[in-house]
Amino acid sequence: MSATRPAPPRPAAAGLGRRGLDGLRRCWGWLAPRLRRALTFWRRSIQARVVVSTVVLSAVVVSGVGWILLQQTRDGLLRHRADVVLGEVDAEVADARNRLEAASGRDVNPSRQQRDLVDPIIERGDSRGYAVVLAGPEGEDPPLRTGGGEYTSGLDLVSVPTSLEEHFDGPSRATAWTYTEIVRVSGAGGETRTSREPGIVVGSQVQLPSDGKTYTLYFLFPLSEEQETLGLVTRALLTAAGLLLALVAGLTWLVTRQVVTPIRMARRVAERLAAGRLQERLQVAGEDDIARLAYSFNQMATSLQRQIRQLEELSWVQRRFVSDVSHELRTPLTTVRMASDVLHDARESFDPATARSAELMQAELDRFENLLVDLLEISRFDAGAAVLSTENVNLGDLVRRVVDAARPLADQRGIRVAVEDPEEPVRADVDVRRVERILRNLVTNAIDHALADDPTEEVLVRLASDEESAAITVRDHGVGLAPGEASMVFNRFWRSDPARTRTSGGTGLGLAIAQEDAHLHGGWLQAWGRTGQGAQFRLTVPRHAGGTLRHSPLPLVPEDAMSSDAAVVVGPAGVVPRPEEGR
């Protein structure tokens, strides 16, 4: 019988770590959108950047000037205090020496003479705010660190710096001073308190007549008043700096507002002009540079509006002319077609020259009729009358139907057409007639531009799809296109080599119509090509009607092409050439 071992308890530290991570995630989730908004505002607001930059530079300058002023004030206060302290010490030492000389004949007890020397000085120090230490005699162990000597009550002897003690390591030393930290110890009820404050310590030597030895008097003067004065000056400078920075920020904001506000108005008007509201204009006020800029902007907008209207009128006239001519030509074309059919059917009874003429006339009438059909289709696109009739179909069936229809032309040129179809059906909501027309143009062009009678030549058609889009590529290894020609591949009536005979005929409008059909689906028609390496066209459409494309499931540049090749992307916005364009 097996027993289940209980799971070991989780360490408390692991739980605390997870709670800490959860807290950090929540904090970051709260902070991240605010940081993004702040960065977006910083990037978009020139006024904010100018104000912040000016305030930062002003703060640097004010900080530098304030630091220099504080240093000068501090040095001045210390120099003045040192002069006063040295004068007072000289007076005290002179008075002490006079008293020692007067008492030299009466008192020969060194201890009593030390107390008579230092006690009056300590009393005056208590009343005037300074402390006194009597150390010595010189040549013996210094008593300052061992608790010997006479000094002001409550003073910690560590207040006398070791460097100053070392200076008075012998007799006949000159008066010297230095900065120190005065430490005082006070206690009440068994509790000891320590206070510290900056100060100046001055040392001077005196000789006791009773034993002839040299003693050192240390005078410790606090710098509390100077510290308070320096703090007051610092607070005043900080207050003045804050007010100055606020004034600078306000002035900068007002100045930049006067410049940025007209620019923002010009941006809004420019956006409305770009949206088609050509009647928008800027308000002109004053005669300064901003007003003259607004006036020039309005003149430019008026000129553009006039030219755009002229181009629209010319475009409308051109479209109307093409549409009218296309419609008007259909009636005589029908009559000519009927006569041509009669002659073509009876050509076997004609002499060879007349029979050949009947065949040529029939072929040219077919081509002319195709041209009229294409012109009418282009007219519908230009007039915005083209609409989609979508249904959910298997694109693989459309591809195979187009390839089967183009196979006689491929066999005639000795070219093999292959279809690489995935195992899963590629389905999408498309207009079957328009997608078939796109594929027919792409496959026919690939066969027409492939290398004829080459046993290795192959036109490969591939299909793929994902959750959002479906794509079809048509790859050939023919003549390709030179750089710079790819930007014109979808232009109307354009051919890569007008001098070359086209076995498949064509009007020069096939790819232009295919481009418009792709636009109607909200899709992309893209092309890649290089001279001598062939070309590849890619059609990408949303799988669902009205969907938005973000990527294509098939690569545009073939796997057998160099990575430096480039492409021309044709999507709903038109032709977008990329660097080093190819077909």
Q: pLDDT at position 507, please?
A: 62
**Each residue of 266-283: pLDDT tens digit?**
888 888 888 888 888 888
Percent of the chain with pLDDT over 90: 20
Residue 504: its H or E element: none
Q: pLDDT at position 243, please?
A: 94
Overall average pLDDT of the 424-440 stretch: 90
- State the pairing for strand pair 458-465/416-420: parallel
Cβ pair 455, 413 in contact under 8 A: no
β-pair partners for 476: 535
**Each residue of 380-420: pLDDT tens digit?**
777 676 778 889 999 999 999 999 988 988 888 888 899 98
Band of residue 241 on the pLDDT scale cut at 50, 70, 90: very high
| Half-sphere exposure for 355 (CA within 13 Å, toward CB) | 8
Structure tokens at 263: 């620019």
Overall average pLDDT of the 484-509 stretch: 64
- What sign has the CA pseudo-torsion 414, 476, 491, 519? positive
Q: Is the pLDDT reported for residue 231 higher than 60?
A: yes
Whether the full predicted model's pTM is greater than 0.75, yes or no, is no
Q: Residue 142, preceding bond cis, omega within 30 degrees?
A: no
Residue extents of the structural domains in the chain: 103-222, 281-386, 391-498+507-577
523: nearest Cα among 477, 488, 561, 573: 573
Burial category of 459 from C-beta neighbours within 10 Å (exposed 0-12, middle 13-18, buried 19 and up): buried
Q: Which CATH number fits domain 281-386: 2.60.120.620, 1.10.287.130, 2.40.50.100, 3.30.360.10?
A: 1.10.287.130
**Each residue of 5-46: pLDDT tens digit?**
444 555 555 555 677 777 788 888 888 888 888 888 888 788
Q: Is the pLDDT reported for residue 573 higher than 60?
A: no
Alpha-carbon distance of 243 to 247, in angstroms, equals: 6
Please tell me the CATH code under which domain 103-222 is placed.
3.30.450
Alpha-carbon distance of 227 to 418, in angstroms, equals: 93
Please tell me the CATH code under which domain 391-498+507-577 is placed.
3.30.565.10
Count the helix, strand and coil residues of the chain and give each as a percent rounded to the nearest 5: 55, 15, 30
Alpha-carbon distance of 114 to 119, in angstroms, equals: 8
**Each residue of 73-123: pLDDT tens digit?**
999 999 999 999 999 999 988 888 888 777 665 556 777 777 778 888 888
Give the residue, 565 or 326, on which the prediction is more confident. Answer: 326
- What sign has the CA pseudo-torsion 321, 326, 327, 331? positive
Overall average pLDDT of the 332-352 stretch: 84
Q: Is the pLDDT reported for residue 309 higher than 70?
A: yes
